[in-house]
Chains A and B, each alone.
Chain A
Amino acid sequence: MPDLLFIVESTLQALTAGLALGSIYGLMCVGLAVIFGIMRVINFAQGEFLMLGMYFALYAVVGTALKDWAGSALGSYIAVIGSAPLFYVVGTLIHRTLMSRVSGIKVLATDDEGQSAQLILTLGLSLVLQNGALIVFGSAPRGLGSSLASAAWEVGLPGDGGSIFINQARAVAGALAVLITVALAIFMSRTRLGKGLRAAADHPVAATYMGIDVARCHRIAFGLGTALTAVAGALVATYYPLQPYVGLEFVVIMYAGVVLGGMDSIKGAFWGGLIIGVVQQMSALILPTQLQTTAIFVIFLLVVFFMPQGLFGRVSDRA
């Protein structure tokens, strides 16, 4: 039965590829969920933060001596690590100068919770960053040229089940994405600051009565969300070509993943992204590539229809 063997082999192949890719999508979704979960702001510039993370990695590796010194593979992971603090600071600055004007305790009490102003601001930011990137970086697609992008690990299946290939750049990126998400989840659930962020999200006024500076929490959340997304971008750049509009390719995945997982749960957002990665890769087994995004949306609509809370929506509130 060579056919069955082939099916098993290609299913496992698609599953591993989906898990690696889905983990990276998961990290992007987590970036979005941190901002929404704590600030109640939907950030429409999320795709552009991802794009900027990619360009940062590109210029850090190609534009500096990093490549000669550490090689293209190690160099790109050093760039990934470097993008975190840099984009955290960028995020806090954007919050301080722009976001704080249309979000925070004072707008949460208003009729639309400031959502129209936030939509206009983040959408505007996204357009400015896209077109700014076009001017500064040019429209030609570029690549990091990491040596891992075209290398694969071969894993033999038991018996004469053949073997599957795992792209090294995607596997490493996926593993790092999982690691970062776990670290963030531990930070949010165990540390004093993490709990403070959750308290500020849960009841901003009561948090103020505890002496928690909600505006500072929002700044930290925006910085964290920006950094997580940019790090995801830097990871994507290790295997995917970049151009100024690359964010658009991922932004749909981010929103679908976050809605799947429940808008304000970090773990849920990660699972949402992971599911999308797996569905996308598995659907390639039976559907032409052009229909992969359609497959994502079919799953998405099914979940929205049957479980509007998302797969992991919280039901903790009694009142």
Chain B
Amino acid sequence: MLKIDALSVTYGGLLALDQVSIRADEGEFIAIVGPNGAGKSTLFKAISGTVAAASGTISLDGTDLLAVAPPMRPHRGIAHVPEGRQVFKSLSVADNIAMGAWPLAPRAAEWTQTLERVHALFPVLAERRDQLAGTLSGGEQQMLAIARALAGKPRLLLLDEPSMGLSPRIADLIFDCIQTVHKTEGMTVVLVEQRAVEALSSCNRGYVLESGRIVLQGSQADLLGDDRVRKVYLGR
């Protein structure tokens, strides 16, 4: 479904991604782990088009994604939950979710269904539907950011450190929800995380990204069994 080939990204001469190749097949759950500054967010930004690719290709279902204008990419079924949530603070919770459904331009009946679906996953958002998103707690904002992405019924969900800054309990809840969505809706998920244990234990396959390069890739079992991964990322 998603195929990235030899992708390089530079920030004013500084190489942030160096010949990165990543693939996510239909219905897969891919984890990407790596330390701070490895280029994980940059990878997602290149997929969404908010940073330009210096070289390489990104294709979605065989079509060249780099040729698609950035705001049109979500219309192809990609939803990006950015690092740091980035909810629309001056819009209500319900309106934030409505913006996630922008590509679908849902009619009333469909919209009700969408709301019910995300409210079932995150009941707290139903209670707070008319509250301004800027007044939500960090955990609630993260739930909203995910709910907003799901409202567009994407086929590919990109999640950038959804557990960042959250208590373990809320982080677990978020990981559970992601699992649920992946299993029940068969959505393809690419998850970037620093919490390698959680990320690797929910994935089918994974990649280790360090200093802009893929240094290791493999199935869940491969990665969990790898000595270096165990030492550096799992701490055992």
Q: How far is the CA of A319 from the CA of B137 in the complex (A)?
A: 10
Known interface pairs A199-B88, A202-B90, A317-B89; A209-B80 also in contact (CB < 8 Å): yes
Is A214 in contact with B88, judged by CB distance below 8 angstroms? no
Q: Hey, which chain B residues are within 8 Å of A317, CB to CB? A: 89-90, 134
Q: How far is the CA of A159 from the CA of B204 in the complex (A)?
A: 85
Q: Is B55 an interface residue (CB 8 A)?
A: no
What's the dominant secondary structure at chain A's contact region? helix
Which stretch in B91-99, B178-186, B227-235 binds the other chain? B91-99
Q: Is A314 an interface residue (CB 8 A)?
A: yes
Q: Which residue of A lies closest to B49 (CB)?
A: A208
Q: Which residue of B lies closest to A194 (CB)?
A: B95
Q: Hey, which chain A residues are within 8 Å of B75, CB to CB? A: 211
Count of CB-CB pairs between chains A and B under 8 Å = 85
With beta carbons under 8 angstroms apart, the residue of B71, B88, B89, B91 that contacts A213 is B71
Known interface pairs A211-B152, A318-B135; A202-B91 also in contact (CB < 8 Å): yes
Is A205 in contact with B82, judged by CB distance below 8 angstroms? yes
Q: Hey, which chain B residues are within 8 Å of A209, CB to CB? A: 48, 50, 74, 79-80, 82, 86
Known interface pairs A211-B152, A319-B134; A196-B91 also in contact (CB < 8 Å): no
Q: Is B221 an interface residue (CB 8 A)?
A: no
With beta carbons under 8 angstroms apart, the residue of A211, A214, A316 that contacts B90 is A316
Known interface pairs A208-B50, A211-B152; A195-B135 also in contact (CB < 8 Å): no
With beta carbons under 8 angstroms apart, the residue of A212, A214, A318, A319 that contacts B99 is A212
Known interface pairs A199-B91, A211-B75, A211-B102; A318-B134 also in contact (CB < 8 Å): yes
- B147 to nearest A CB, angstroms? 13
Q: Which of B82-132 contact A (CB under 8 A)?
A: 82, 86-91, 95, 98-100, 102-103, 105, 132
Q: How far is the CA of A317 from the CA of B48 in the complex (A)?
A: 26
Residue count of chain A within 8 Å CB distance of chain B = 24
Q: Which residue of B lies closest to A204 (CB)?
A: B50
Q: How far is the CA of A318 from the CA of B87 in the complex (A)?
A: 12
With beta carbons under 8 angstroms apart, the residue of B70, B90, B102 that contacts A196 is B102
Q: How far is the CA of A213 from the CA of B102 in the complex (A)?
A: 11
Q: Hey, which chain B residues are within 8 Å of A199, CB to CB? A: 88, 91, 95, 99
Is B48 in contact with A208, judged by CB distance below 8 angstroms? yes
Q: How far is the CA of A214 from the CA of B49 in the complex (A)?
A: 13
Is A207 in contact with B70, judged by CB distance below 8 angstroms? no
Q: Is A142 an interface residue (CB 8 A)?
A: no
Q: Hey, which chain A residues are within 8 Å of B89, CB to CB? A: 202-203, 316-319
Most chain B CB inside 10 Å of its own CB: which residue of A192, A198, A199: A199
Is A316 in contact with B102, judged by CB distance below 8 angstroms? no
Q: Which residue of A lies closest to B81 (CB)?
A: A209
Is A211 in contact with B98, judged by CB distance below 8 angstroms? no
Q: Which residue of B lies closest to A201 (CB)?
A: B90
Q: Which residue of A lies closest to B48 (CB)?
A: A209
Q: How far is the CA of A195 from the CA of B73 in the complex (A)?
A: 20
Q: How far is the CA of A317 from the CA of B141 in the complex (A)?
A: 13
Q: Hey, which chain B residues are within 8 Å of A210, CB to CB? A: 74, 99-100, 102-103, 148, 152
Is A198 in contact with B91, judged by CB distance below 8 angstroms? yes
Chain A 53-79, CB within 8 Å of chain B: the 1/0 string?
000000000000000000000000000
Q: Is B72 an interface residue (CB 8 A)?
A: yes
Q: Which of A185-227 contact B (CB under 8 A)?
A: 192, 195-196, 198-199, 201-203, 205-215
Is A205 in contact with B86, judged by CB distance below 8 angstroms? yes
Is B88 in contact with A316, judged by CB distance below 8 angstroms? no
- B159 to nearest A CB, angstroms? 12
Is B90 in contact with A314, judged by CB distance below 8 angstroms? yes
Q: Hey, which chain B residues are within 8 Å of A203, CB to CB? A: 86-89
- B192 to nearest A CB, angstroms? 15
Chain A 176-192, CB within 8 Å of chain B: the 1/0 string?
00000000000000001
- A187 to nearest B CB, angstroms? 14
Q: Which residue of B lies closest to A212 (CB)?
A: B102
Q: How far is the CA of A203 from the CA of B132 in the complex (A)?
A: 14
Q: How far is the CA of A314 from the CA of B69 in the complex (A)?
A: 33
Q: Hey, which chain B residues are within 8 Å of A208, CB to CB? A: 48-50, 70-71
Q: How far is the CA of A208 from the CA of B102 in the complex (A)?
A: 11
Is A195 in contact with B98, judged by CB distance below 8 angstroms? yes
Is B87 in contact with A206, judged by CB distance below 8 angstroms? yes
Q: Hey, which chain B residues are within 8 Å of A316, CB to CB? A: 89-90, 132, 134-135
Q: Which of A71-102 contact B (CB under 8 A)?
A: none
Q: Hey, which chain A residues are within 8 Å of B49, CB to CB? A: 208
Q: Hey, which chain A residues are within 8 Å of B80, CB to CB? A: 209
Q: 6 tightest A-B contacts by CB?
A: A211-B74, A206-B86, A213-B71, A202-B88, A211-B103, A209-B80
